[in-house]
Amino acid sequence: MLQAPESRAPGYRDWATHLPVMRPTLSELQETREFWNASPCGRQGTLEERKVQRYRMEPWLPDKIREIATANANVVELGCGQGTDAMVLCSWLPSGGSYLGIDHSDASVEIARDTAMAEQSRLRVAPTFQVGDAGAIDLENDSVDCIYSMGVLHHMEDERRAFREIHRVLKPGGSAYLWLYRSWTPKVAVAKALRRVQEGVDRIFGSDRAFYKMLYGRHMEGSLGTMVLECFGVPHLKSYTRSEVLRLTSDLEVTRLAPVGYSFPWLHRRNDGQGFLGYFWDIELRKAWRQPPSAP
Ligand SMILES: C[S@@+](CC[C@H](N)C(=O)[O-])C[C@H]1O[C@@H](n2cnc3c(N)ncnc32)[C@H](O)[C@@H]1O
């Protein structure tokens, strides 16, 4: 079970809001790991099957990944899941570049590593994967050119830990490409409403995630990935308004902040994912260059 916030060990103060940032308890991270180990993100199947499902849902994403890989030689992905985007990134990164995928789910990292072995002849860059926490990245300060993180940080109990780490590890001038759920969009609103219904049912019957347990193992992932399981089972599912994103990212320069993604794929004619119903924030950030030291 998650511990009540007041029982958590105090951590440090957030640089933007000056609110205390709590260190996660072991059980919070364990619960996250257990969920994603039981349901690695996306369709369960071969890389080809995963790609078909993923890029049918997000047809704009492969072009975006290609753009990122051609603009940045060294990429660190936070929450790489089964490594589906990693394979696309590594097929576009310039040879001599590098890719590190970090995920808190060891089962997902194992699948990503197996996929990379099977794909190695098709990749320009050999990816490496690490089990780790986006809120405590095991890398030096100012060491990373580019951070990529798709649909991950909104599942953290305290996502400010990750933003603090992104700022710490990025090189001055480095970029981060992030996607976070956007508040008040149909898909996110439905997911949140369904979670509320489940919470009500749990309260009445004393159950623990009753719908999740009913649905688990039913193989609905073909059309929706792990979206339905995620909606009922994941420990944290958050979404953000524009001003909340700006507050979270206040230590970095925001170079792009726009809606993207198809709440209802059949309604959209455009293939670039743009539109006011977009259920993700498409966020690009840059870490400022250091000011030259002033003359004595
Ligand atoms: C919705 S999936 C997204 C996976 C991948 N980015 C994709 O789009 O297919 C979320 C992933 O984030 C990982 N995750 C959640 N919290 C994490 C954390 N604190 N640190 C690292 N990974 C985390 C989960 O294990 C899971 O694989």
What pLDDT, on the 0 to 100 scale, is given for residue 63? 94
The secondary structure of the chain as a DSSP string is -PPPGGGSPEEEE-TTT-PEEEPPPHHHHHHHHHHHHHS-SS-SS-HHHHHHHHHHH-TTHHHHHHHHHHH-SEEEEES-TTSHHHHHHHHHSPTT-EEEEEES-HHHHHHHHHHHHHHGGG-SS--EEEE-BTTB--S-TT-EEEEEEES-GGGSTTTHHHHHHHHHHEEEEEEEEEEEEBTT-HHHHHHHHHHHHHHHHHHHHT-SSHHHHHHTTS--HHHHTTHHHHHHH-S----B-HHHHHHHTTTSEEEEEEEES-SSGGG---SS-BSTT-SEEEEEEEPPPPPPPPP-
- How far apart are the CA of 37 and the centre of ligand 1, in A? 10
Name the region of 281 (left: φ>0; alpha: ψ -120 to 50; beta: rest).
beta
- How far apart are the CA of 102 and the centre of ligand 1, in A? 9
84 CA: nearest ligand 1 atom? 9
Q: Is 66 exposed, middle or buried (0-12, 13-18, 19+ CB in 10 A)?
A: middle
> Atom 11 in ligand 1: which residue has the minimum CA distance?
79
The C-alpha angle 290, 295, 296, rounded to 5 degrees, equals 125
What pLDDT, on the 0 to 100 scale, is given for residue 78? 98
What pLDDT, on the 0 to 100 scale, is given for residue 220? 59
What pLDDT, on the 0 to 100 scale, is given for residue 5? 35
Q: In what order do the strands lie in the sheet with 253-260?
A: 128-131, 98-103, 74-78, 144-150, 170-181, 280-286, 253-260
41 CA: nearest ligand 1 atom? 2
Intervals of the chain under pLDDT 70 = 1-26, 218-225, 263-273, 291-296
What pLDDT, on the 0 to 100 scale, is given for residue 224? 60
What pLDDT, on the 0 to 100 scale, is given for residue 20? 43
What pLDDT, on the 0 to 100 scale, is given for residue 230? 84
pLDDT in tens, 213-236: 888 776 655 556 577 888 888 899
Closest CA to 98 of 49, 148, 39: 148
- Predicted model pTM: 0.88
What pLDDT, on the 0 to 100 scale, is given for residue 249? 97
Name all residues whose Cβ lies below 6 A of ligand 1. Answer: 32, 36, 41-42, 78-81, 84, 102-105, 108, 133-135, 150-152, 155-156
- How far apart are the CA of 108 and the centre of ligand 1, in A? 9
Residue 70: alpha-carbon gap to chain centroid: 21
What pLDDT, on the 0 to 100 scale, is given for residue 42? 83
Residue 93: CB atoms within 10 A of its CB come to: 25
- How far apart are the CA of 150 and the centre of ligand 1, in A? 8
108 CA: nearest ligand 1 atom? 27
- How far apart are the CA of 80 and the centre of ligand 1, in A? 6
> Atom 2 in ligand 1: which residue has the minimum CA distance?
41
Phi first, then psi: give them for residue 17, nearest 5 degrees. -100, -10
287: which 2 tokens? 């870490």
> Atom 27 in ligand 1: which residue has the minimum CA distance?
81
What pLDDT, on the 0 to 100 scale, is given for residue 76? 98
The domain spans of the chain are 5-183+236-286
What pLDDT, on the 0 to 100 scale, is given for residue 165? 98
Distance CA 195, CA 236 (A): 11
Select from 36, 51, 161 the residue to mutate for testing ligand 1; criterion: most ligand atoms less than 8 Å from CB. 36
Tell me the CATH number for domain 5-183+236-286: 3.40.50.150
- How far apart are the CA of 74 and the centre of ligand 1, in A? 20
- How far apart are the CA of 134 and the centre of ligand 1, in A? 9
**Torsion 62-168-3-244 (CA) sign:** negative
What pLDDT, on the 0 to 100 scale, is given for residue 214? 83
